[in-house]
Amino acid sequence: MQVTRSTFNEVMVPNYNPAEMVPVRGEGARVWDQNGVEYIDFAGGIAVNVLGHCHPELVKVLAEQGAKLWHLSNVFTNEPALRLAKKLNDATFSDKVYFANSGAEANEAALKLARRFALDHYNEDKDQIIAFTKGFHGRTFFTVTVGGQPAYSDGFGPKPGAIVHCEYNNLDSVKEMMSERTCAVMMEPMQGEGGIIVPDPEFVKGVRELCDQHNALLIFDEVQSGMGRTGALFEYMNLGVTPDILTTAKSLGGGFPVGAMLTTDRVSKSLKPGTHGSTYGGNPLACAVAEKVFDIVNNPEILEGVKHKEALFREKLAEINEKHHVFSEIRGKGMLLGCALNDTYKGRAKDFMVAANHEQLMCLIAGMDVIRFAPSLIITDEDIVEGLKRFERGIAKLIANS
Ligand code: PLP
């Protein structure tokens, strides 16, 4: 059966508007489309393909587990899930893990756990969730309402209640809002979708202290920032601030759908049997792949490499900017970088992304003003340099046609 991009409009719900080219194959940081045109991938499946496309060790473990046992449901446990949970607990602050299938599902579990914990330990009035404007936590109705972009949560009828938003990086706004009614604060330790915003470490420390003063749980959404992307296994380690609950997804499976919520023994006790669940969460196939991703990423050499690659990106992007004067700032950490457009080009991030795509480079945007790169953590220096040459060609053409 012949299918093309135009088939999309005939058979798919119109909530997405994918690029014109249809990718069919990937290897490392390179992707080929239906016409055999080759692209360099700085998008990484939106910060997911942490080891590039078709990493041989992931392909091997997927095939091995695929020939052994795919699925059981949570009526039974399984070896890959138990091993992965143990490794996550050994490497982080957590004692207990809940597996889900996506970032939104991991966050949904985190929010329900925080509400139930407050009910178990305090009273039913302690239900307020504090989150941040421009935050993003997924698209279920609870998580999208906690996210700080009303454009995503409006228009679906009555929203889940007791959710308020403060200004990111503004401790006073949290101080003013917080009270004994607050059951949890949910935040990204570095905002991704909101424009690659790196918080002041003192702000994050201050939020932790406020949570402790008011018996509120601190939830870090590391769905985008976690699993080595910032050069630490999780960004909380860079910040030196430990949450009570942490969620991870995206890079965790390297492209296989899986999410996880990590927490302490004490907090975990509120998710008693029957309180929450998922048919697929902790599926052996997903956990076998994620275990291999974890084994490869949780390695000082890989994490140091991320810092080196960040430096190379920054050096080349600065050269591009010296020539073309398009960015006001290069921000972010590790392999999650944002090029903020200056006043001349504000609002035109999508045009830059399309221009790059025409030069055979895949990249992302984070809002209307920021071009985002979230490539594989093991992308080669040659691919970085070549990808940025293509990016520069796209910029030059965009400027010439402006
Ligand atoms: N949390 C953060 C910080 C994210 O960046 C995203 C996705 O972009 C999500 C949650 C939602 O993850 P998913 O799309 O896997 O549900």
- Do both 268 and 306 map to the same domain? no
Please spell the DSSP secondary structure of 189-208, one letter per residue. Answer: SSBSTTT-BPPPHHHHHHHH
42-81 pLDDT, tens digit each: 999 999 999 999 999 999 999 999 999 999 999 999 999 9
Q: Which atom of ligand 1 is found nearest the CA of 46?
A: 8
290, with CB counted inside 10 A (0-12, 13-18, 19+), is buried
- Do both 268 and 243 map to the same domain? yes
Mean pLDDT of 313-322: 98
* pLDDT attached to residue 4: 97
Residue 332 belongs to what domain range? 5-54+300-400
Tell me what percent of the residues of the chain surpass a pLDDT of 90: 100
Whether ligand 1 lies within 6 angstroms of the CB of 361 is answered as no
What token pair was written down for 170? 């503004």
- Do both 118 and 206 map to the same domain? yes
Whether ligand 1 lies within 6 angstroms of the CB of 138 is answered as yes
Contact by Cβ (8 Å): 366, 328? no
- What is the rounded radius of gyration, in angstroms, for the C-alpha atoms of the chain? 21
Mean pLDDT of 317-332: 98
- Do both 250 and 382 map to the same domain? no
- What is the Cα–Cα distance from 67 to 109, expressed in whole angstroms? 31
* pLDDT attached to residue 70: 97
Q: Which of 217, 214, 200, 248 is nearest to 131 (CA)?
A: 217
How far, in Å, is the centroid of ligand 1 from the Cα of 103?
5
Provide long-range contacts, Cβ within 8 A and 24+ apart, for 28-36.
28/52, 28/53, 28/54, 28/55, 28/376, 28/378, 28/379, 28/380, 28/383, 29/53, 29/375, 29/376, 29/379, 29/380, 29/383, 29/387, 30/383, 31/362, 34/4
How far, in Å, is the centroid of ligand 1 from the Cα of 221?
9
How far, in Å, is the centroid of ligand 1 from the Cα of 193?
9
Tell me what percent of the residues of the chain surpass a pLDDT of 70: 100
Average pLDDT, the chain: 98
Q: Which of 4, 34, 42, 17 is nearest to 359 (CA)?
A: 42
Beta-carbon count within 10 A of 321 CB: 17
Mean pLDDT of 227-246: 98
- Do both 140 and 252 map to the same domain? yes
* pLDDT attached to residue 153: 97
Taking the complete model, does pTM exceed 0.85, yes or no? yes
- What is the Cα–Cα distance from 85 to 89, expressed in whole angstroms? 6
* pLDDT attached to residue 210: 98
- Overall number of domains in the chain: 2
Residues 6+ apart with CB under 8 A from 44: 50, 52, 335, 374, 375, 376
Q: Residue 197: pLDDT above 90?
A: yes
> Residue 217 belongs to what H/E stretch?
strand 217-221
95-120 pLDDT, tens digit each: 999 999 999 999 999 999 999 999 99
- Do both 40 and 12 map to the same domain? yes
Contact by Cβ (8 Å): 261, 55? no
* Last-in-domain residue among 268, 297, 326: 297
CATH code assigned at 165: 3.40.640.10
CATH code assigned at 43: 3.90.1150.10
> Residue 82 belongs to what H/E stretch?
helix 79-91
pLDDT band at 402 (very low <50, low <70, confident <90, very high): confident
- Do both 156 and 224 map to the same domain? yes
Beta-carbon count within 10 A of 316 CB: 17
- Do both 287 and 235 map to the same domain? yes
329-387 pLDDT, tens digit each: 999 999 999 999 999 999 999 999 999 999 999 999 999 999 999 999 999 999 999 99
* pLDDT attached to residue 389: 98
Whether ligand 1 lies within 6 angstroms of the CB of 249 is answered as yes
- Do both 193 and 286 map to the same domain? yes
* pLDDT attached to residue 135: 98
Residues 6+ apart with CB under 8 A from 145: 153, 159, 160, 163
Q: Which of 107, 305, 67 is nearest to 221 (CA)?
A: 107
State the sign of the Cα–Cα–Cα–Cα dihedral 178, 183, 189, 190: negative
C-alpha distances in angstroms, 350 versus 41, 129, 219? Answer: 16, 33, 31
- Do both 84 and 123 map to the same domain? yes
The strand pair at 361-362 and 182-187 is best described as unpaired
How far, in Å, is the centroid of ligand 1 from the Cα of 250?
7
* pLDDT attached to residue 359: 98
- Do both 101 and 247 map to the same domain? yes
Contact by Cβ (8 Å): 295, 285? no
Whether ligand 1 lies within 6 angstroms of the CB of 108 is answered as no
* pLDDT attached to residue 24: 98
Whether ligand 1 lies within 6 angstroms of the CB of 192 is answered as yes
- Do both 324 and 238 map to the same domain? no
Contact by Cβ (8 Å): 141, 160? yes
What token pair was written down for 356? 């790059």
How far, in Å, is the centroid of ligand 1 from the Cα of 137?
5
State the sign of the Cα–Cα–Cα–Cα dihedral 297, 300, 301, 304: positive
The strand pair at 217-221 and 182-187 is best described as parallel
